[in-house]
Chain A
């Protein structure tokens, strides 16, 4: 049975304009970043610029230390991820394979963490971080995110799928819990680890509120904070330079997304289901 013309193209007729609408902010960023300032404020100049003005990019790079911001973003996001992988693999192994008292109560404490994102508890965390003398440092941006109830849950589910015969065999070979975790469990749950890593990277690379609260000097700021500051100092006067800066800030993740599209989509798709 052949689908009718309407069935075949009707869906595109709805989806295509919606998709264009969705990507138009991105197109607007890209196009503005190569315009002149005059063209931005002249509504009769049309969507595309007369000439592509690449100078906005070096100009954006020169007004703020985006190189330093990028390194800091990298260190903070990487630091959070490495610490998280350590804490969640240990905890997930305990929940999946060991028996101990109050297991369910402790597990619900882990799960309940999901209900308290940093936006809900930033105030008292700010005071704790200040008392610990961590203000204006890279660790200040890392510590609140080291324990992850969500990651522990994801990994516990994956660990439970690992056949117990495998860990029993490892035990007979004289492996302790740690080496069983390292040699048997972690290699077997690589897809789950990658999914968690992608979600963690996307979340913390883009973090705004918390790094904003705990940093106050250029040397420790991350990309989103740098962009926010530039926007504030410009206050709409120089959109072309600001959009060039925006391209610099959003391109690392967008490029990764384009290259590893399948992995990204799969990670976000299945993260909530298991």
Chain B
């Protein structure tokens, strides 16, 4: 039997000391909150009160029969499942177009990327202005193009799509940049060979480019899903969840329950459902897209 030598014990202690600062903050502000949220969800806890009552599964039963929860859930899922693929497709097309020798690549890249630098609150506010039904430039353009003017953020039908369009503008440039880095690693002679064989640009994209950069696409999908949490900022600034809760999303619903109704127990339950949803989504993507990536990579 091998006993740990003095040297390896010392090294472990050094490692512990070096990890400690990170571990303290990681525990206090990531893992402890998750455990606590789980604990709160089984209790009746009010904001600012020290009394806690055990409830069992009551909060979960309430969540599952709560119409507004399901509405926020549908809005969150709708936003994520449409915005992220749309932004990635947009980003991929831009990246492929910019992975050429055209002039002004740097200018184009900056034009698509700069929205990342703009704070979500500023972006949201400016788009409220752009979407203004009476004097906003978007309705002005629609008028010129002969399209019907829309009420945008004031209509329960168009408010969420309006925020989705804004999000595509905000995130495509970021995804584009990550995809562009992957595209630059694809060997040029593959395209040359394809061109000699008379393969069209479209088929090159589908059969050469996309399979070769699929690990990066997979990565961007995960990053995109995690960024979709940020919809809280936009909804908070642009619509406050309205009109008629048509833009209420789970993060906002957690906020409302916690800070307007002071119901920490119920808000924690909604937060856990959100984590569960994102967890399942990422697991599904890992099982489908992730496996495919692995297959192509081997």
Contacts and interface: CB of A to CB of B under 8 A. Distances in A.
Interface of A: 11-12, 14-15, 18-19, 22-26, 28-29, 32, 40-43, 86-88, 90-91, 93-94, 98-101, 103, 106, 109-110, 113-117, 119-128, 143-144, 146-149, 152, 177, 202, 205-206, 208-209, 212-213, 223-225, 227-228, 231, 236, 239, 242-243, 246, 249-250, 253-254, 257-258, 261, 265, 268-273
B114 A26 contact: yes
B181 interface: yes
Contacts of A209: 232-233, 236
B11 A120 contact: no
B210 to A, nearest CB: 17
A93 B19 CA distance: 9
Interface of B: 8, 11-12, 14-16, 18-19, 21-26, 28-34, 36-37, 40, 94, 97-98, 100, 102, 104, 106-123, 125-130, 132, 134-135, 137, 140, 169, 173-174, 177-178, 180-182, 216, 219-220, 223, 226, 229-230, 232-233, 236-237, 251, 254-255, 258-259, 264, 267-268, 271, 274-275, 278-279, 282
Given A19-B111, A246-B125, A270 B181 contact: yes
A120 B22 contact: no
B21 A86 contact: yes
Contacts of A144: 29
A127 B32 CA distance: 11
A168 to B, nearest CB: 15
A170 B19 CA distance: 22
Contacts of A15: 94, 97-98, 102, 108
The prevalent SS among residues of B at the interface is helix
A152 B22 contact: yes
The prevalent SS among residues of A at the interface is helix
Contact of B178 (A87, A243, A268): A268
28 contacts: A11-B97, A22-B111, A22-B169, A22-B173, A90-B22, A91-B19, A98-B14, A98-B15, A110-B22, A114-B226, A119-B251, A120-B271, A121-B30, A124-B40, A124-B268, A127-B36, A144-B29, A202-B117, A206-B117, A212-B236, A227-B119, A227-B125, A228-B237, A236-B129, A242-B125, A249-B122, A253-B117, A258-B110
